[in-house]
Structure formats: structure tokens, C-alpha cells
Copies of this chain bind each other. A is one copy, B any other.
């Protein structure tokens, strides 16, 4: 066996050995052949089975453990975990991309722009403790002729001073921030809401009509950067998330 051997799959695809071990075991777990609690063969057994070194087996098992499919216990071995509480990876696209994926022309319109000192409400939204300068922006995203989403955004100018110079007529604040500020963490809240008069007016729907609200707070290295609320009319929008319980 040569040093960096690769394996031929049935379909002709080439996988590295540790990826083959990984997907073999994953398949056994997901198919139910190895039920929760089942003890996976020891590293030295897999070493014999796959004719490879312990390091290679270890790499594969460590990855399965990190993905949460198995649990490893020293001296005892590795075990299939109980199915985890379900989690979904939710893609939150750029609205422009979303609209264009629908085959509709995208248009962005800035409604409001206000520089002010943060009040208690602003600080609560951003998660700030001390007052400071913030920028308030309200914009509309259109799909064709129809309003697609209303965006209400608060930017912490202490964290992103350059935003004070930008009018946001040409570029939406989302893409502008993405290109400028590396973000380290984000928190999302998703809920349903009845349109109030202001929202109904902006989105051209009836007051009281159901809307999907997605709020996102973003931090960059511990500093709050922005809080944004997207309000979508119920008909226009469904969030889709697909989840596979391990990431090969």
C-alpha cells in the first residue's frame, strides 16, 4: 500500500481514506444499523479493518465526535449518541440575491436616515450599556413593483464610524457592512407579527395582516455592530432550512 493511497468508490469518485471511514460509520449510524448506545469498534480494530494507521482512524472518529454523532470515552470506547435535539442551518441570504432568484427585478430605496445619540430603546436593541452615537436607517426592498421587505436598522457608530459618512442612497446597509466589518457573532429572532399602520403603509398591505419578522443583532469581537429588523409580508416570504445531522 502506497503512502497516500486513495480509494475508488463504486461510482468512481475518489475519497481520501479518512473520509471513507468517516462516511462508512456515519452511514451505519444514520441507517440505524448502529443504534444509539452502540459501541463503535475500537480504534485498533478499525485500524485492522481498514489497514491504516491509528492516526487516520482517530482523525475520522474525532470528526464524528465534533459533529455530535458519537461520544468518545477514554478507556471505554466510542458510542453512538442519542439523536440530538434538532437544529437547522438557516441560510439568511442577501435580499437582492433572494429577489433575483425569483426572477424579479430588484430595487432598493432608502426611506429614512437619522443620526442621533442612543436612547434607552436603542441601547436595548444593540445591547449597549453606555450612550453613544448611532445611525437609524429605514429602507424598502422591492421585488418588481411590489415591496418585498421593510428594513429597519440601527448601526453603532462607535463601532463603525465610517457609516456616518455614507448616505445609503446607492447601496443597502447590509452589503455595505458585510464588506467592511468582520462579524464574529450574530443572534436571530424570528416571529410573526400583525402589521401596524406604519408597516402596512410601507409594505402596501392591510393593517393587521400577518408579517414575518426577522431580527438580527451582530457583534464584531465583542462590540455590538448593528441591529436590523426585516419585515416581510406573509405571502412574500418563507424561510427554508435544511439540516443533515453531521457535516462529513
Please state if B89 and A234 are interface contacts (CB–CB under 8 Å): no
A86 touches which of B27, B83, B86, B92 (Cβ 8 Å)? B92
- Interface presence of A53 (CB below 8 A): no
Residue tally, chain A, CB below 8 Å to B: 57
Point out the residues of chain B lying under 8 angstroms from A221, CB to CB. Answer: 27, 30-32
Please state if B90 and A240 are interface contacts (CB–CB under 8 Å): no
Please state if B83 and A88 are interface contacts (CB–CB under 8 Å): no
Please state if A184 and B89 are interface contacts (CB–CB under 8 Å): no
Please state if A192 and B220 are interface contacts (CB–CB under 8 Å): no
Given the interface contacts A188-B243, A210-B211, A242-B187, does A87 sit within 8 Å of B89 by beta carbon?
yes
- Interface presence of A209 (CB below 8 A): yes
Please state if B90 and A90 are interface contacts (CB–CB under 8 Å): yes
Question: In the complex, which of the residues A29, A182, A186, A239 has the most CB atoms of chain B within 10 Å of its own CB atom?
Answer: A182
- Interface presence of A190 (CB below 8 A): yes
A112 CB to closest chain B CB, in angstroms? 24
Given the interface contacts A87-B90, A187-B240, does A192 sit within 8 Å of B212 by beta carbon?
yes
Complex Cα spacing A204 to B42, Å:
55
Residue interface bits A70-86, CB-to-B below 8 A is 1, else 0? 00000000000001011
Q: Which residue of B lies closest to A26 (CB)?
A: B184
Given the interface contacts A193-B192, A221-B32, does A244 sit within 8 Å of B185 by beta carbon?
yes
- Interface presence of A10 (CB below 8 A): no
Point out the residues of chain B lying under 8 angstroms from A83, CB to CB. Answer: 178-179, 182-183
Q: Which residue of B lies closest to A233 (CB)?
A: B192
Please state if B90 and A241 are interface contacts (CB–CB under 8 Å): yes
Please state if B181 and A237 are interface contacts (CB–CB under 8 Å): no
Please state if A191 and B237 are interface contacts (CB–CB under 8 Å): yes
Point out the residues of chain B lying under 8 angstroms from A242, CB to CB. Answer: 185-188
Measured CB to CB, the residues of A under 8 A from B are 27, 29-32, 35-36, 66, 83, 85-94, 97, 178-179, 181-194, 208-213, 216, 220-221, 232, 234, 237-245, 247
15 contacts between A and B (CB under 8 A): A30-B183, A35-B182, A36-B182, A83-B182, A88-B90, A89-B89, A186-B242, A187-B240, A188-B240, A188-B242, A190-B240, A191-B239, A192-B211, A194-B210, A194-B234
